[in-house]
Amino acid sequence: MTGCAAPTLVPGAMASGQDAPDRDMKRKITNDLAAHMRSLAQLRRRNPDLAERMVTESVSLTSEEALAGGLVDLSAPDMDSLLTGILGRRVLVGGEERELFFNPSVIVEINMSSRERVLQFISSPDTAYMLLSAGILMIVLEVLTPGGFVLGTSGAVMVLLGAFGLRMLPFNWAGVVLLVAGIVVLVLDLVVGGIGVLSLFGLASLVTGGLILFRAPGGELLNVSMNVIGGMSLAFGLFFIGALYLVLRSHARRPVSGAEGMTGRKAVVVEDLDPEGMVRCHGEIWRAKGVGGARFYKGAEVLVSEMDGFTLVVRDDTVESTPGGDSSAKEV
């Protein structure tokens, strides 16, 4: 079997997401990996010293350096060159030497199953980051605004999927804590008084958490894309600005309940006010009486002047009331 210059993940070498307890444990892990790397190199008749230095000294090699150092058998720019180069070579398989023989012109591609594609998508750092961020936000909003289950359920599912993705990757607990703290601060700042300095800290925590969420070295594949971090931060910022706008607009809107909400509204008499009776106001039936004991008859339109407990005090509107009137005033 030919060698490869790319680093190989060894079983047991993947970080678990928790830091080693002390320096001695880290040294023991490094030495164990170095010994395992040396034994693999000797088994495959590679350069054991150079293989060990890749672990102990974090040595990185180009394909030409790996070929010159005896870590790989050949370097190929494409698949056709690789297949041509390994044809006829003898490799060790189960302790026995075997010759590689095949038809280079016949290549059978084995595609991933639907289940494997879903697992690959979930275990992507970008996907895990987006699922966790959106899920935590939904759960926090559900806690602060109870009464439904859609947000909470959806958020819980997203967090579970994101946690599964984290389990497949070498994540950093500090990144997770910053991610949760950033979202909680953003929501709380909106609830207590709008978007201010705390919101800026929340966005900064969200960005920092994404940058350090995955701690193991491994190139861009183990880092959350800056485009994803920037996009999520922008989306969160726009979401909270929109939420703040809706909150401010609702505060400026005329009250629809209580004495303030009823004053000035039109009502239609459904039972003669003599001196008290019933009116329909805002789609509801209310007990009412006229200002100063004034009488109004069924069908008359009146205006709510004030509230006396649970009784509306009404005054005359533009439509005159007549005894037994059959006024065609619009119901309000």
Question: Above 50 in pLDDT, residue 23?
Answer: yes
Q: What are phi and psi of 4, to 5 degrees?
A: -145, 140
How many distinct structural domains can be found in the chain? 3
**What confidence tier does 2 reach under pLDDT thresholds 50, 70, 90?**
very low
d(CA 133, CA 251): 29
User: 325 in a domain, yes or no?
Assistant: no
Cβ 55 vs Cβ 37: under 8 Å: yes
Looking at the structure, do residues 137 and 173 belong to the same domain, yes or no? yes
CA quadruple 216, 221, 227, 231: dihedral positive or negative? negative
- Please report whether residue 66 resides in a domain: yes
DSSP per-residue string spanning 109-131: --PPPHHHHHHHHHTSHHHHHHH
Lowest mean pLDDT among 46-50, 157-161, 250-254: 250-254
Q: Is residue 331 part of a domain?
A: no
- 63 lies in some domain: yes
Question: What is the number of alpha carbons within 13 Å of residue 248 lying toward its C-beta?
Answer: 10
Confidence tier at 247 by pLDDT (50, 70, 90): low
pLDDT tens for each residue of 149-162: 787 888 889 888 88
Identity at 183, one-letter amino acid code: I
Position 288 in a domain? yes
Structure confidence at residue 260 (pLDDT): 59
- Residue 108: inside a domain, yes or no? no
Structure-model confidence comparison of residues 93 and 261, the more confident one: 93
Do 93 and 135 share a structural domain? Answer: no
In-domain check, residue 120: yes
In the listed set 99, 133, 152, which residue is the last one of a domain according to the structure?
99
- pLDDT tens digits, 184-210: 887 777 777 656 677 788 888 888 888
Is the pLDDT score of 145 beyond 80? no
| pLDDT band with cut points at 50, 70 and 90 for residue 53 | confident
pLDDT confidence of residue 278: 92
- Residue 94: C-alpha distances to residues 1, 86, 89 (Å): 12, 19, 16
288 has which bridge partners? 277, 312
Q: Are 118 and 131 in contact (CB under 8 A)?
A: no
E-only strand ranges, 47-184: 90-93, 96-99
Q: How confident is the model at residue 59 (pLDDT cuts 50, 70, 90)?
A: confident
Range of the domain at 192: 114-252
113 vs 169 pLDDT, higher one = 113
- My answer on whether 126 and 245 are in the same domain is yes
Whether residue 241 is predicted with pLDDT greater than 60 in this model: the reply is yes
What value does the mean pLDDT take over residues 288-305? Answer: 88
Q: Are residues 147 and 227 in the same domain?
A: yes
**Mean pLDDT of the 263-269 span:** 86
pLDDT tens by residue, 213-234:
876 554 444 677 788 888 888 8
User: CA nearest 210: which of 270, 147, 128?
Assistant: 128
Residue 46: inside a domain? yes
Q: How far is residue 76 from each of residues 6, 80, 83, 262, measured CA to CA in Å?
A: 13, 8, 9, 82
Residues 166 and 248 in one domain: yes
User: What's the pLDDT score for residue 9?
Assistant: 40
pLDDT for the residue numbered 269: 92
Average pLDDT, the chain: 76
Q: Do 248 and 263 lie in a common domain?
A: no
- pLDDT (tens digit, 9 = 90+) per residue, 85-141? 787 777 777 777 787 777 766 777 888 888 888 888 888 888 888 888 888 888 877
Tell whether 127 and 209 lie within a shared domain: yes
The model's pTM is 0.48
